Structures are given as C-alpha cells and as structure tokens.
Homo-oligomer: A and B are copies of this chain.
Amino acid sequence: MSPASPPTAPHPRAAPFDEPLRPLRWIGDADGVLELLDQTRLPAEERWITCSGIDEVHAAIRRLSVRGAPAIGIAAAYGVVLGIGRGWSPESPLRPETSSWPARVEEVCDDLATSRPTAVNLFRALDRMRALARAIAHDPLAAAKARLLSEAHAIRDEDATSCHAIGEIGSSLIADGAGVLTHCNAGALATAEYGTALAPLYTAHRLGRRFRVYADETRPLLQGARLTAWELSRAGIDVTLNCDAAAAQLMRSGRIQLVIVGADRIAANGDTANKIGTYGLAVLARVHGIPFYVAAPTSTFDLTIADGSRIPIEQRHAEEVREFQGVPVAPADLPCENPAFDVTPAEYITAILTERGTIAPVNAAEIARIVQPRRPRS
C-alpha cells in the first residue's frame, strides 16, 4: 500500500459529505424490508423501491434498479433474509420441500442466482448466506433470521470497508492536474457506499487534490451519464461527460493520465469482465501509453476459473439498443449485438486495486498472493 502523497499546494480540506450516498438500506428488524434507490430513474428522480420479498429483489436486480457487482451481492444477501421474512412462514409453503426454513433458504438462493450471470459477487454472497444457513440449520426460524440478517449486514459493511480501503490505496494515483477516464459506474451506487473505481477519486478529492474526471456515458444504459456524472457532481468533483467513442481522441489529446474502472468478475489469471467497452479502452490506453487500473474488492475475484474465456457474458435485450425510453431510434426488429460485458485480458491491466493492496503485475501468482490467503477457494 502506498501512502497518499500530499497535494502540491495547500488547499483547505474539502468538507465531508453531509450524508454518504448508499444505494441500499435495510429498514427494521429481521422481518423488515429492503429499500433500493431505483437507479433506472436517476438522475431525473431519486425514488426508492421497497422490496418485501424475493420476487421484488430478483426483478430489481434483473432490470438494473440495483446494479454494480458489489451492490448486487448485497441486495441478494438481503433477499435471502426476505425469503424467510414476514412474507413467508413454514406453515404456508409454496412447495412441500420448503416447509423448513433451511430448505427455503436453498430455494431462495437458487432463485436469486438466476437474476444475472456475470457478476461473481452475487454468487459469492449467496454462497455465504447458504453456508451460514447450513451451519445453523437447527436454529429456530426467529434466531436464524436474525443471524442471516447480521450476515447480510456484514456483507454490506465489509464492502463499505473494502471500498474505503481501495480509496486510500488508489488515491496516490490521482495527482493534481490529472485527467482520469472512467467507464460505466463503479461508484457509491455500485457498492454499499463510496465505490470501487470512484473511491480513489473521492479520497483524492477529500485530500484537496484537483483533477478532472472524464465519464464515458456508457451506452446502452448510460450509467456513466446517469449515475457516475450524477454522483461525482453531487460530491463536488469536476466531471466532464463524453460519448464512449470520444475516449480514444481524449487519450490522444493528452488529457487522460489514467483510466480506472470497476469489475464484475476477475478470473484467477487477472482477466477481467466489466461493462462492455472496457476491453477497447484498455487496448486504447496501452497504445497511448496510459496506465489502466481495475479497482475491485477481493469478493470480485473468482479463483475457480483459470481465465476470462470461462466468464459467462450476459446478452441483454435488443430493445436497450434499438429504443431509448420507449422511443425507437432504429428500425423495429433490427438485430442487435448487446453484450452487457466484455473481458479485458490481464496483460492490458497495469494493476488491480483491492482492499488488501495493489496487484501488479497482474498475473495468477500475484493474485493468489493477495487474494487467496484470507479467503480460501470455496
């Protein structure tokens, strides 16, 4: 971990945020509800969705009301609690095999695992909830609910802690005067709070450093325009929006000193699945001699797969490309290529910033050294 360098000129330390931006909140006790900031409505509207059962959580993940690999994992963990929460009782099971709460947890985990395929945090969170449920399978329902809720809170809190650690570790990369390009949203909205790729920017900003962020708008769903630009502006960070296809020219013009993005799944060798467009940016960064960083908690690594060729890539609906908020922008029924993610080979990644330290060079040995010791392969 490298310490943050001091700003070159003395600035007043930026005021702390009034309220950290957190896209998920649990309301009440173990029979409570999950509230999600509906990210499909931003920036026009800050509307919260209340989820009181797993169908609502599944749908919210699927339609991207909650998105970002760590946030999906947290939402799913809370979804497991909802699965045995106030909407469910062992006396009224839908199917006989769920007449016990541990069986119901298994069913809920299986269901939530089908919501999206690429982000590994989803499966890791569900595995963790499932493992706890198996360990406490003889507890009565009320006690089990409380334990599972605590576990979901722990997943959330660990993510927040990881994000702040990534911010500390990465902030030294953000020099005064730097131009930083990011893609999609790997910010507070994608995590418990503070973000992964955006965490070093928040920390550098709080240290008084002056820099400019260029946010790729990130078609088709415009998470860069709608979410990244919104949350960075809200925090008082200098952000300029650009179309995805303008990134190459920005790099060539000398205005970009580094690229930093998040990740949805990182294979054992460092190959990284992230929002479609990330791979092209990494190649362009290499050609322009610009360092390319991935920021992700260790929960985003999937050491069970050797390389990126085995990461499942979600293909989404053609309507996301052909229409915009219901308005057609292309001929109806036109075939569309709409992968949600691509895979960036490890060789294009300068370093991966995790809460446990920086992985550089990015290869299987360095990843194993940082990621494996404290979180053995499940």
Where the two chains meet, the residues of A that have a C-beta atom closer than 8 Å to any C-beta of B are: 1-3, 43-44, 183, 214, 216-220, 222, 225-226, 229-230, 233, 239-250, 252, 276-277, 279-280, 283-284, 287, 318, 321-322, 324-325, 327-339, 342
Task: Indicate if the CB atoms of A241 and B284 lie closer than 8 Å.
Answer: no
Q: A43-B331, A331-B230 are in contact. Are A245 and B248 (CB under 8 A)?
A: no
Tell me, in angstroms, the Cα distance from A216 to B240 when the chains sit together.
23
In the complex, which of the residues B244, B252, B279, B287 contacts A249, with contact meaning CB atoms closer than 8 Å? Answer: B279
Task: Indicate if the CB atoms of B329 and A277 lie closer than 8 Å.
Answer: no
Task: Indicate if the CB atoms of A241 and B321 lie closer than 8 Å.
Answer: yes
Tell me, in angstroms, the Cα distance from A287 to B283 when the chains sit together.
8
Among A2, A226, A245, A280, the one with the most B-chain Cβ atoms within 10 Å of its Cβ is A245
Q: Select from chain B the residue with minimum beta-carbon distance to A43.
A: B331
Task: Indicate if the CB atoms of B243 and A243 lie closer than 8 Å.
Answer: no
Q: Select from chain B the residue with minimum beta-carbon distance to A336.
A: B241
Copy number in this complex? 2
In the complex, which of the residues B220, B248, B339 contacts A279, with contact meaning CB atoms closer than 8 Å? Answer: B248
Task: Indicate if the CB atoms of B2 and A322 lie closer than 8 Å.
Answer: no
Contacts of A44 in B (CB 8 A): 328
- Using A2-B332, A43-B330, A243-B276 as known contacts, list a sample of 6 further A-B pairs with CB atoms less than 8 Å apart, ordered by residue number in A: A1-B331, A216-B245, A219-B243, A229-B334, A241-B337, A283-B283
Contacts of A214 in B (CB 8 A): 337
Contacts of A3 in B (CB 8 A): 331, 333-335
Task: Indicate if the CB atoms of A249 and B280 lie closer than 8 Å.
Answer: yes
Task: Indicate if the CB atoms of B216 and A337 lie closer than 8 Å.
Answer: no
Tell me, in angstroms, the Cα distance from A185 to B199 when the chains sit together.
39
Task: Indicate if the CB atoms of B335 and A241 lie closer than 8 Å.
Answer: yes
Min CB–CB distance A113 → chain B (angstroms): 25
Tell me, in angstroms, the Cα distance from A277 to B243 when the chains sit together.
9
Contacts of A322 in B (CB 8 A): 225, 241
In the complex, which of the residues B248, B336, B339, B342 contacts A283, with contact meaning CB atoms closer than 8 Å? Answer: B248
Q: Select from chain B the residue with minimum beta-carbon distance to A345.
A: B252
Tell me, in angstroms, the Cα distance from A225 to B220 when the chains sit together.
12
Task: Indicate if the CB atoms of A336 and B240 lie closer than 8 Å.
Answer: yes
In the complex, which of the residues B229, B284, B333, B342 contacts A330, with contact meaning CB atoms closer than 8 Å? Answer: B229
Contacts of A233 in B (CB 8 A): 331, 334
Task: Indicate if the CB atoms of A337 and B250 lie closer than 8 Å.
Answer: yes
Tell me, in angstroms, the Cα distance from A372 to B204 when the chains sit together.
55
Q: Select from chain B the residue with minimum beta-carbon distance to A212.
A: B335
Q: A328-B44, A333-B2, A334-B233 are in contact. Are A243 and B244 (CB under 8 A)?
A: yes
